[in-house]
Amino acid sequence: ARSRTYFSGIQPTGVPHLGNYLGALRNWVKLQREAKPNDTLYFSVVGWHALTLPQDRNALLKAQTDMVALLLAVGLDPERSIIFHQNQNPDHLELAWYLNCITPVGKLRRMTTWKGRLADARNANDESEVDDSLLNTGLFTYPVLQAADILLYKATHVPVGEDQQQHIELSRDLADSLNRQLGAHNKEFRRTFPLPEAVYTPSKRILSLRDPSSKMSKSSPFEQSRILLTDKPEAIKSKIRKAVTDSNSEIAYDPINRPGTANLLTILAACEDAQPEQVAERYAGKDHGILKADVIDAILELLRRPREEYERLIQARDYLDRIVEGGLFKARSASGKVMRTVRDRLGM
């Protein structure tokens, strides 16, 4: 089999939560463990994406350092994986520009993430008409930057949550379009970029504990019930105890009608690498109190090591700085070569 290149990113918009861990970070560590010696893995803190929403400078700087500490704390190994800050490598922006110039506006309008942002803005302003003048161009063209992040390292595999499917498809389309442009005078150049494939996380999406109609999210200011990887045991206990369930005293896995209970079962199942339906069977005749106590125990066990490692690493600033410096050097060496080829083939 041909060697693989993995690329994935996470925004420095706050401390990662249980959903990020179960839906992304834990899977990154698993891929790192299972990768073949010739495979290359890039895990990037994507600061330029964070700027598509308003950010406070100091909070942003802290979030970037925290994120590196957390990536190491969950088990990414800088000897094996290339860990770096996207916003320290300007090649991302240059490739994004070339991609912007071949991306139809209509395609970006159809992105569900964009449509979601439009709906949010409309609700916030009590407008019935969709008004895109409230939103910035960066947010609109964000999926193109994401495609650039991926193509820049000729990634073949992109570990993501299922919410990212449309973006990965766009990345494939853009890889294909750019390949055609680069190969206009030379057929061989039509294979410059591999078409990246999504690698979906097996576990189901983790929902907000307070409002299980939306996902657990680190960027939403309205979502304070999320469990952070840095939460102390007391905070975890209190958040799970307050998690919304329902008045039905039986435990059953029914995500449509009983999303709160289903979410707790999903979390427990993910902690145990099991299916929520199977886990639900164990709770026949038991109540929410018993389920919540078990969910608390499972999360405490799952997050204990990462939290202890984080608390140790966050004191070691020089070490963290050295890791991302080394990662940036490797990232730029690879991307610089790709960009020289792209410029030459474009006539830039």
Q: What are the residues binding ligand ADP (CB under 6 A)? A: 10-11, 13, 19-20, 23-24, 160-161, 163-164, 205-206, 215-219
User: Is 101 buried (19+), middle (13-18) or exposed (0-12) by CB count in 10 A?
Assistant: exposed
Contacts of 137 (CB under 8 A, 6+ apart): none
Phi, psi of 6 (to 5 degrees): -100, 140
- Cβ-based nearer residue to ligand ADP, 182 or 270: 270
- Cβ-based nearer residue to ligand ADP, 205 or 241: 205
DSSP per-residue codes, 261-301: HHHHHHHHHHHHTS-HHHHHHTTTT--HHHHHHHHHHHHHH
Q: Are 292 and 243 in contact (CB under 8 A)?
A: yes
Q: Shortest CA distance to 67 belongs to which of 27, 17, 113?
A: 17
Q: Are 317 and 74 in contact (CB under 8 A)?
A: no
Calpha distance 109→168 (Å, rounded): 16
> Measured between alpha carbons, how far is residue 35 from residues 102, 171, 240 in Å?
33, 23, 35
Residue 57 Cβ vs ligand ADP, minimum distance, rounded to whole Å: 19
Calpha distance 258→278 (Å, rounded): 16
Residue 123 Cβ vs ligand ADP, minimum distance, rounded to whole Å: 18
Residue 214 Cβ vs ligand ADP, minimum distance, rounded to whole Å: 9
- Cβ-based nearer residue to ligand ADP, 44 or 335: 44
Residue 183 Cβ vs ligand ADP, minimum distance, rounded to whole Å: 31
- Cβ-based nearer residue to ligand ADP, 16 or 194: 16
- Cβ-based nearer residue to ligand ADP, 244 or 338: 244
Scan for tokens 């039905």, then name that residue.
Answer: 248
Which residue is at the shortest CB distance from ligand ADP?
23
Residue 216 Cβ vs ligand ADP, minimum distance, rounded to whole Å: 4
Taking every pair of Cα atoms in the chain, the longest distance, rounded to a whole number of angstroms, is 70
Residue 130 Cβ vs ligand ADP, minimum distance, rounded to whole Å: 23
Residue 19 Cβ vs ligand ADP, minimum distance, rounded to whole Å: 3
Residue 62 Cβ vs ligand ADP, minimum distance, rounded to whole Å: 16
- Cβ-based nearer residue to ligand ADP, 198 or 342: 198
Q: Are 269 and 278 in contact (CB under 8 A)?
A: yes
Q: Are 261 and 245 in contact (CB under 8 A)?
A: yes
- Cβ-based nearer residue to ligand ADP, 71 or 151: 71
Phi, psi of 287 (to 5 degrees): -110, 180
- Cβ-based nearer residue to ligand ADP, 10 or 320: 10
- Cβ-based nearer residue to ligand ADP, 236 or 339: 236
Residue 223 Cβ vs ligand ADP, minimum distance, rounded to whole Å: 9
Calpha distance 276→298 (Å, rounded): 14
